[in-house]
Amino acid sequence: MRAHITEMVHQALGYLKRDGELPSDLDPVLTVEHTRDPAHGDYACNIAMVLARPLKRKPRELAELIVRRLPESRRVARVEVAGPGFLNFHASPHHLRMVVREILDEGQRFGQQPVGSRPPVLLEYVSANPTGPLHVGHGRGAAYGASLASLLEAAGHPVQREYYVNDFGRQMDILAVSVWLRYLELCGETVRFPDNGYRGEYIIEIARAVRARHGDDMRHGRVAVEEDLPADGEHGGDQEQHIDALIDRARQLLGEQGYQACFAAALDIMVEDIRTDLAEFGVEFDRWFSERQLTESGRIEAALKRLDSAGWLYRKDGALWFKATELGDDKDRVVVRENGRSTYFASDLAYLLDKLDRCSGTSLYIFGADHHGYVPRLKAAARGLGEDPDRLDFQLVQFAVLYRGGEKVQMSTRSGQFITLRELREEVGNDAARYFYVMRSHEQHLDFDLDLAKSRANENPVYYIQYAHARIHSVFRQLEERGLRHNQAIGEAALGLLESEHEQSLLRELARYPELIESAADARAPHRIAHYLHSLAAQFHAYYNASVFLVDDDDLRNARLNLVGAVGQVLANGLTLIGVGAPEKM
RNA sequence: GCCCCGGUAGCUCAGCUGGAUAGAGCGGCCGCCUCCUAAGCGGCAGGUCGCAGGUUCGAAUCCUGCCCGGGGCACCA
């Protein structure tokens, strides 16, 4: 509809230019938007105000001129000049009738553009290190990413969903050693656990699984394990040196094969845990991209070679550096360490290149807010690799803080004192968790009120929306119980009977859903869907309380059922986008 | 010091990429079930859009400076 009105205005301008009433070289930027106040019609256009200055004419006068030349449209009932010079367009009853018909005919596809009508997007999200279970912070990234993926798809972008698995590097070694030490404990050895190790209960469970698979094969005595290790932090030594030495010791005692078996077991179990956790949360991926494979396939070398031949690498202090500063970053970055191992950033380079090769459109990153420093770095990387940095899009998800009983729930990762995503889901349920995570703008800190999320009362927005959907289904059940059937054709013919304020505002609200999908997708803002649904539900509840739908009059009843059915459909479609269920009964 | 996000009603937040008289939920107060689910509805109260300049027909929205809160600035991952 917005496009339709824009076209109408352009036509009018064309006539005026042809007739010499406006200069022919005119090419103004005009906007058509939804009005907030129904008194201003359904859509407003600012063209007259935009033209007023360059033409040195009064906006209202220009507005009158344009209105007179607007082409006829069945979807527009009338156009008025209002306020400082707005063109206010009133949608025709025909237009609103068409919207209801479209909703009922298209069903769950209503609001969606054909996939492929917009450029593809490769969306990477969550990508938490598989060194422990997901916590509530990851949950927000997961809910946001999954909702955004659905939203982009609905707007017509082909979407590839990816999880980048950091299955390589020192953190994973620390995980493997932590598991091994717990395993030794299970075998009956008394070994000291390093300050820097992963302490969570889950490590013991992984160790148990390793023991079930490998028996006592990996058992070594305490002396062999701890002999001659540098002191740990607790004993006045260096934590990092201590744990590195411990990793080396594990490699020696277990042999490379044995060590890899332990490492692989820990990794498999962790990744599988994350995968099922997310799947239960309705968050799925098309691909789990392994960092290790990136290394082994030589793509890091390839990316570095490309940077080098473009002259962006240099050697200093024994390390290989990327001249990021010259490409917009605030400092140069090491890509190969003094010890010859490539850095995490080198993997990022290779992955970036791989993504851009596989997706002709945009590579969209969802980061936690603490990763914002990566943005200039990766843009510099794209430039250095000879790629267009505008093909990268970064969305930063701010932190979520849990509140229980009005008190902030304290969490710290190190000590293993954190609430996992799984615990959160069990406490408040998947629907509430998904909704609460996306109901706020992702770039806004989130106060997650556990008590509110658990509440089964009207104050909980999730139930409020779901209740509206359930009520609608209940109406249709009642209809059948009374031995009646809904006749859509009769309803459509009688849609003109829906003249009450509630009915009109519901029709207007439904009509803007497809445009909401578009603008929310462009703004990467699924929270707008959440707000829209709440508003639609509110209007429905008001309507429900004000009118009886199942009246004796066939025309009126069917017309109302068309409207109510359409509301139910749009509620279900929107809830699906943000991963929340649309129950038919509550 | 530099960078990112935020500051809008008592609280939590929207504000559709610059529009018309700034909105919702919660909390507070007053009402509404012989009727399709009261997990609902109606009403009242509540505002210096952090502060100061600037840009323009028009600013909560864009620019600059300052104040406050959160986060980040590794040859860690």
DSSP A114-182: PTTSS--EEEE-----TTS--BHHHHHHHHHHHHHHHHHHHTT--EEEEEEE--SSHHHHHHHHHHHHH
- The span from the CA of A575 to the CA of A394, in Å, is 25
What average pLDDT score do residues A157-167 get? 96
pLDDT in tens, A385-404: 999 999 999 999 998 889 88
Mean pLDDT confidence for A509-536: 94
The domain defined by A97-115+458-577 folds into: Isoleucyl-tRNA Synthetase; Domain 1 (1.10.730)
Q: Could you tell me which of A68, A89, A80 has the C-alpha nearest to residue A4?
A: A89
CA of A37 to C1' of B22 (A): 13
- CA–centroid distance for A43 within its chain: 29
Position A39 scores a pLDDT of 82
Confidence of residue A417 (pLDDT cuts 50, 70, 90): low
Nearest nucleotide by C1' position to the A519 CA atom: B16
**pLDDT reading at A57 higher than 90:** no
Least confident span in A101-115, A292-306, A341-355, A413-427: A413-427
Q: Is the pLDDT of residue A413 over 80?
A: no
Q: Which of residues 484-513 of A touch strand B (CB under 7 A)?
A: 512
Would you call A581 helix, strand, or coil by DSSP? Answer: coil
Q: What is the DSSP letter of A371?
A: G
CB of A2 nearer than 7 A to strand B: no
Distance from residue A33's CA to nucleotide B11's C1', rounded to whole Å: 32
Q: How far is the CA of A423 from the C1' of B22 (A)?
A: 39
Q: Determine the nucleotide nearest to A560 by Cα–C1' distance.
A: B36
- Per residue in A199-235, pLDDT (tens digit) is 888 999 999 999 999 999 999 999 999 998 998 888 8
Instruction: Encode pLDDT of A299-322 as tens digits.
Output: 999 999 999 999 999 999 999 999
pLDDT averaged over every residue in chain A? 92
| Predicted pLDDT of residue A11 | 92
Q: How far, in Å, is the CA of A458 from the C1' of nucleotide B43? A: 18
Model confidence at A531: pLDDT above 80: yes
- Residues A480-504: tens digit of each pLDDT: 999 999 999 999 999 999 999 899 9
> Which residue's CA shows the smallest distance to C1' of B38?
A458
CA A304 to chain centre: 31
Q: What is the pLDDT of residue A59?
A: 87
Q: Is the CB of A467 under 7 A from strand B?
A: yes
Strand B and A263 CB separated by under 7 Å? no
Question: What is the Cα–Cα distance from A129 to A127, expressed in whole angstroms?
Answer: 6
CA A456 / C1′ B70 distance in Å: 31
What is each CA distance from A411 to A9, A400, A415, A442, in whole angstroms?
56, 11, 9, 21
- Please give the helix or strand (H or E) that residue A271 lies within, else none: helix A239-280
Residues of chain A with CATH 3.30.1360.70: 2-91
Q: What pLDDT does A415 receive?
A: 52
Contact between the CB of A542 and strand B at under 7 Å: yes
**Residue closest to B24, CA→C1'?**
A535
- Name the residue with higher pLDDT: A527 or A410: A527
Question: pLDDT at position A3, please?
Answer: 85
- Asked if residue A141 has pLDDT above 90, the reply is yes
Q: Where are the alpha helices (DSSP H) in A196-238?
A: 201-214, 222-226
> Which nt sits closest to A374, CA to C1'?
B72
- Put the strands of the sheet holding A43-45 in their side by side order: A32-34, A43-45, A86-91, A76-82
3-state secondary structure of A39: helix
In the sheet with A313-316, reading across from the earlier edge strand, the strands are A313-316, A319-322, A333-336
User: Is the pLDDT reported for residue A411 higher than 90?
Assistant: no
Whether pLDDT at A416 is above 60? no
Question: What pLDDT band is residue A418 in, cutting at 50, 70 and 90?
Answer: confident
Local confidence band at A532 (pLDDT 50, 70, 90 cut-offs):
very high
Answer yes or no: is pLDDT of A457 > 60.
Answer: yes
Q: Over 90: is that where the pLDDT of A289 sits?
A: yes
Domain with CATH 1.10.730.10 in chain A: 97-115+458-577
Segment A58-69 shows an average pLDDT of: 90
Cα A492 from Cα A487, distance rounded (Å): 9
- pLDDT band at residue A83, thresholds of 50, 70 and 90? confident
State the nucleotide closest to A525 in CA–C1' terms.
B16
Pick the more confident residue, A539 or A38. Answer: A539
Give the helix/strand (H/E) hosting A349: helix A344-358
Share of chain A above pLDDT 70, in %: 99
Asked whether residue A412's C-beta has any atom of DNA/RNA strand B within 7 A, the reply is no
Which amino acid type is present at position A112?
Q
| A468 CA to B37 C1' distance (Å) | 10
Q: Is the pLDDT at A169 greater than 90, yes or no? A: no
Local confidence band at A236 (pLDDT 50, 70, 90 cut-offs): confident
Over the stretch A98-125, which tens digit does the pLDDT of each residue have?
999 999 999 999 999 999 999 999 999 9
* CATH assignment, A2-91: 3.30.1360.70
The C1' atom of B48 and the CA atom of A167 lie apart, in whole Å, by: 54
Judge whether residue A59 contacts strand B, using its CB and a 7 Å cut-off. yes
Tokens coding A301: 């070398």
The reply to whether the CB atom of residue A480 sits less than 7 A from any atom in nucleic acid chain B is: no
Burial class of residue A481 in the structure, from the number of CB atoms within 10 Å of its CB (0-12 exposed, 13-18 middle, 19+ buried): exposed
**A395 CA vs B25 C1’ separation (Å):** 26
Q: Of all helices (H) and strands (E), which one includes residue A447?
A: strand A446-449
pLDDT digits (tens, 9 = 90+) for A24-38: 877 777 888 888 888
A192-230 burial string, b = 16+ CB within 10 Å, else e?
bebebbbbbebbbebbebbbeeeeeebbbeeeebeeebe
Strands in A407-408's sheet, in edge-to-edge order, are: A407-408, A400-404, A446-449
Q: List chain B nucleotides near protein: any atom < 7 Å from a Cβ.
A: 2-6, 12-21, 24-27, 35-42, 56-58, 69-77
Phi, psi torsion values for A498, nearest 5 degrees? -85, 85
Percent helix, strand, coil in chain A, to 5, is 55, 15, 30
- What percentage of chain A exceeds 90 in pLDDT? 75
Is A347 (CB) below 7 Å from strand B? Answer: no
Q: According to the model, what pLDDT value does residue A23 have? A: 86
CA distance A367 to A395: 6
Q: Which residue minimizes Cα–C1' distance to B69?
A: A445
